[in-house]
């Protein structure tokens, strides 16, 4: 099973940028569907962006479209999320994930589905957007 480790989170001001990284440890990231999710306090985890490794096709939640860019480096076994023009509502814990139904790329994920339908999750990295 692929082990995922996120990094790059932190505190930024509104309008600022961050780049998140998700490194696959020990194993090659060969999952067909990989992506980023986020969860704010009191809310369900939601899909932010996904990418299909085979053809590099991407999906974005409407709330981040035009501001976030997902990419991957297969040689480095790393997934990235470039976040620009950050807003306070982007504040959340961001998770990378692999091997899951593409439906969740732009939909919420009930807590009961975390382990049942997702092959791998990272531990999460906090992103806080505040002045």
pLDDT tens, 43-69? 999 999 999 877 778 999 999 999 999
Query: Using an 8 Å Cβ cutoff, are 119 and 2 in contact?
Result: yes
- Eight-class DSSP state of 110: -
Q: Where are the beta strands (DSSP E) in 30-129?
A: 33-39, 45-52, 58-60, 68-73, 78-83, 92-98, 108-109, 120-121, 125-129
pLDDT tens, 3-34? 899 999 999 999 999 999 999 875 555 567 89
User: Average per-residue pLDDT in the chain?
Assistant: 91
Q: What percent of the chain has pLDDT over 70?
A: 95
pLDDT at position 115: 87
> Cα separation of 57 and 55, whole Å?
5
């Amino acid at each position: 099973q692929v082990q995922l480790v996120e990094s790059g989170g932190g505190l930024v001001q509104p309008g600022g940028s961050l780049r998140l990284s998700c490194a696959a440890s020990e194993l090659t990231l060969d999952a067909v569907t990989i992506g980023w999710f986020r969860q704010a306090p009191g809310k369900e985890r939601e899909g932010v962006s996904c990418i299909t490794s085979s053809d590099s096709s991407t999906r974005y939640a409407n709330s981040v479209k035009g501001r976030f860019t997902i990419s991957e480096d297969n040689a480095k076994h790393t997934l990235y999320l470039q976040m620009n023009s950050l807003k306070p509502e982007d504040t959340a814990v961001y998770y990378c994930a692999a091997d899951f139904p593409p439906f969740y790329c732009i939909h919420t994920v009930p807590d009961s589905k975390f382990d049942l339908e997702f092959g791998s999750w990272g531990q999460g990295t906090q992103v806080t957007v505040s002045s």
